Chains A and B, each alone.
Chain A
């Protein structure tokens, strides 16, 4: 499995933007970058995914480096409901997905 590296934890003030980094230096050409988040006592929730180009949806933006060895999940205005563990995962075709420890985001009121 191509692996990802994320900081264990991050803090953000409420209503400020948050940039969650992810390194994936061994990514292959067909690996998609997926982001999920998990709130306490809930299953993971899909956030966004991309291959090469930056992506935007109603939840977040995904910025992918030109060499694809890193990516950044951007929450434009953090709210208290965004406090969660964020997982950056590489997904290739029909291969199984492995979760790392993710980044625990704390949002400060």
Chain B
């Protein structure tokens, strides 16, 4: 299967600093990547959809000025948490879509990165 990497895997920072998380598709090109956030014992919550070469589409309630997404190439998307605060502490997961067509119907399979654990003190 397709491989998606994330870096760093874990980060601890002081309140007020900015944190950048990278998401890479290693063996396929991804025109679309997704960013999720997961709090303990909860499911994944979609934050935004990142399209290569265009602005990201944010889900309702997600501040675009706080969670800055850049998708400059077909294999790399970055999420920057600006001025992070303790409530931003969470598990951040990216995914990349490997699209194909089967039986005349377009379908997608998402491949997920291993996640980044952010702890803001």
Q: Which residue numbers of A lie inside 8 Å of B, CB to CB?
A: 30, 32, 34, 36, 41-46, 49, 51, 87, 91, 93-94, 96-102
Given contacts A43-B93, A51-B103, A99-B44, is CB(A93)–CB(B108) below 8 Å? Answer: yes
B61 at the interface (CB under 8 A from A): no
Given contacts A51-B105, A91-B108, A94-B32, is CB(A43)–CB(B113) below 8 Å? Answer: yes
**Minimum CB distance partner of A92 in chain B:** B107
Given contacts A51-B105, A93-B108, is CB(A101)–CB(B43) below 8 Å? Answer: yes
Contact B113 A46 (CB under 8 A): no
Number of interface residues of B (CB under 8 A): 32
Contact B102 A46 (CB under 8 A): no
Contact A46 B111 (CB under 8 A): yes
A99 to B95, CA, bound (A): 13
Contact A96 B34 (CB under 8 A): yes
Q: How would residues 78 to 121 of chain B score, 1 for a CB under 8 Å from any chain A CB and 0 otherwise?
A: 00000000000001011101010011011111111111010000
The contact of B106 among A34, A94, A96, A100, by CB within 8 Å, is A94
Given contacts A43-B93, A44-B93, A102-B43, is CB(A91)–CB(B107) below 8 Å? Answer: yes
